Amino acid sequence: MPPDRRSERQAALRVALGAEGLDGLLVTHLPNIRYLTGFTGSAAVLLVREDTTILISDFRYASQAPLEVGAAATVEIDQRSVWERLGRVLAARAAGRLGIESHSLTVRDAERVSGLTRGPVVPVTDLVEGLRAVKSPEEVAAIRAAAALAQDSLAEVLPSIRVGQTEVEVGAMLEGALRRRGSEWHPFPTIVASGARSALPHARTSQKAVAAGELLLLDFGAQVDGYCADLTRTLVVGARADERQRTVHELVQTAQRRAIEHLRPGMPAREGDALARDVITSRGFGDAFGRSLGHGLGLEVHEAPRLAPTSETPLPPHAVVTVEPGVYFPGWGGVRLEDDVYLGPNGTECLSDGRTELLELV
């Protein structure tokens, strides 16, 4: 059995609360609740104070919540209203400065919390997310397993991709393979974009048919034990790649490899982004790389840290990030290559297979 890290996570959060001058935190972002307690349901609030941790949910989780949470928190189930139960819980405790997750709580619910407590309510951001950015060995192993599952699913599907299939059909084959191989769910809507549509970094998979000689961009993920993998591969279907396709693919591949080889913990995020961006800019295509290089990966497919050209934040040791340079030319297409990378104390480790060679499905 892997070690149970929930108590140490809660202890670290209490240290962060003390540094912010808070007497408690109301956690409402479900991935944060899962991180701190193990609860995987769709409705709950979590109160973390110096002396207690209380999870409040509704009747749908009367059996599930105690099993998942165990000794990590006191579980209270309310048959009528989670908010009414929260009010009773707060009323039974001394008033103090209560933090709320301003990035996940609506204005209406924030006002509701203010009416339930006698003390001040303080909006905060990223207290739990800052803890989640540093991955334990078990978390890294889960992301590695999710990446392997995604890679195996792609390998299963590639021989079946044909000219004339729609993007939706290709996406359905890939998502089916992911589920058959054990992915708990799709961390994000699978992107299948062909031809000129591959120049849309976050294209919506469409009914467009894949034509011979077109670029086909596949951006997909898997989920294992709640943890996400996120991969992108770009290939050519029905013909050999032409000179421009080869040149652009080679440029993106070179930029990605440089970033993966030289990323280090402690490096400002913008310097990590520049590792790939400088390669692309030096070839005159800087304007075609309009996105950030990557993002953190864990219980969510987008989390801290962010490899952005505007971020001075140092990359934390033991973070997992995507490295996904891409260049996009409207009317022609785009190439993106993405792998999942662990920032270990001695350098980087690619958790996905890093197989970014140009695939030609002829």
pLDDT at 192 over 90: yes
pLDDT at 95 over 90: no
The pTM of the full predicted model, rounded to 2 decimals, is 0.96
- Per domain, the residue ranges of the chain are 6-132, 137-361
Q: Which CATH architecture has domain 137-361?
A: Alpha-Beta Complex (3.90)
The model's confidence at residue 93, banded by pLDDT at 50, 70 and 90, is confident
- Residue 107 has what pLDDT? 93
* CA R_g for the chain: 23
Q: Which CATH architecture has domain 6-132?
A: 3-Layer(aba) Sandwich (3.40)
CA–CA gap between residue 293 and residue 262 (Å, rounded): 14
Query: pLDDT of 126-144, one tens digit each?
Result: 999 999 999 999 999 999 9
- Residue 201 has what pLDDT? 94
Q: What is the DSSP letter of 94?
A: -
Distances (CA, A) of 126 to 22, 32, 85, 172: 14, 10, 25, 35
- Residue 13 has what pLDDT? 98
Q: At what angle do helices 137-157 and 167-180 cross, to 10 degrees?
A: 130
For residues 14 and 36, the answer to whether their CB atoms sit within 8 Å is no
pLDDT at 94 over 90: no
